[in-house]
Amino acid sequence: GAVVSQHPSWVICKSGTSVKIECRSLDFQATTMFWYRQFPKQSLMLMATSNEGSKATYEQGVEKDKFLINHASLTLSTLTVTSAHPEDSSFYICSARPRDFPTDTQYFGPGTRLTVL
Amino acid sequence: QQPVQSPQAVILREGEDAVINCSSSKALYSVHWYRQKHGEAPVFLMILLKGGEQKGHEKISASFNEKKQQSSLYLTASQLSYSGTYFCGTESGRDDKIIFGKGTRLHILP
């Protein structure tokens, strides 16, 4: 149980284009999903907390107009990187927290590797 | 506030033991431990809750000292498959966001 999927696994795009990443909880409902980015050999940096049916809460220093987050249902959250630039190249990982077990941990998706040329 | 992990990296021979520490300057509600292999997402190992828990998972166990705001992960008789980067994540309150430490890289030699 507690499987989280992400799509796509990797994406290469040109500078200036937008990229959408999907995060789905496959066998549980998640009121809250989290988006992280990770640079090589570094820690997981929380970008935003996504709540179903409401606006996402962004961490300090994360541009909300650049990283658009939508949490359309209890099993789906999307991250859109708008007007991507090479410095946005990173490993983006989502995680989801089961709705029915609030003291449970977060379960991570497999990640999406974004390369902006 | 980001928890502090130590050591930053450790190299062991197969069969040896390791301890990874995680400490916070804030009062903690829970500590979460994950292992990440290169190029993959973190995999959940265990969660320890307020109240001072100790848990075990095969040859991997952990303790949580709530008063000291510290947790330790114990790897006994390490196997090659234990190699990876270990992250502790801390929560200050129930349903709060998890903040991760910088990680401890563990490399097991045959």
Q: Which residue shows structure tokens 């996402």?
A: A56
What does the pLDDT profile of chain A (117 residues) look like in tens digits? 678 999 999 999 999 999 999 999 998 898 889 999 999 888 999 999 998 888 899 999 999 999 999 988 899 999 999 999 999 999 999 999 887 765 578 889 999 999 999
What single DSSP character describes residue B81? Answer: G
> Cα(B60)–Cα(B55) distance, rounded to whole angstroms?
9
Helix (H, G, I), strand (E, B) or coil at B77: coil
Q: Which of B41, B97, B102 sits opposite A110 (nearest CB)?
A: B41
Contact yes or no for B30 and A103 at CB 8 A: yes
User: In this predicted model, what pLDDT tens digit does every residue of B34-79 receive, in sequence order?
Assistant: 999 988 889 989 889 876 666 676 789 999 988 889 999 999 999 9
pLDDT of residue B17: 95
The answer to whether A79 and A52 are in contact (CB under 8 A) is no
What is the arithmetic mean of pLDDT over B10-30?
Answer: 94
CA separation (Å) from B78 to A42, A58, B108? 24, 39, 7
In the chain, the amino acid numbered B98 is I
Contact yes or no for B100 and A43 at CB 8 A: yes
Q: Which of A34, A46, A105 sits opposite B47 (nearest CB)?
A: A105
Residues of A with Cβ-Cβ distance to B32 under 8 angstroms: 105-106
> Cα(B92)–Cα(A112) distance, rounded to whole angstroms?
28
Listing DSSP states for B8-21 in one string gives SEEEEETT--EEEE
> Cα(B7)–Cα(A105) distance, rounded to whole angstroms?
24
> Cα(B37)–Cα(B85) distance, rounded to whole angstroms?
6
pLDDT of residue B52: 64
Give the total residue count for chain A: 117
Residue B39 burial (C-beta neighbours within 10 Å; 0-12, 13-18, 19+): exposed
Task: State the average pLDDT for chain B.
Answer: 90
pLDDT of residue A41: 84
pLDDT of residue A1: 66
> Cα(B11)–Cα(A77) distance, rounded to whole angstroms?
38
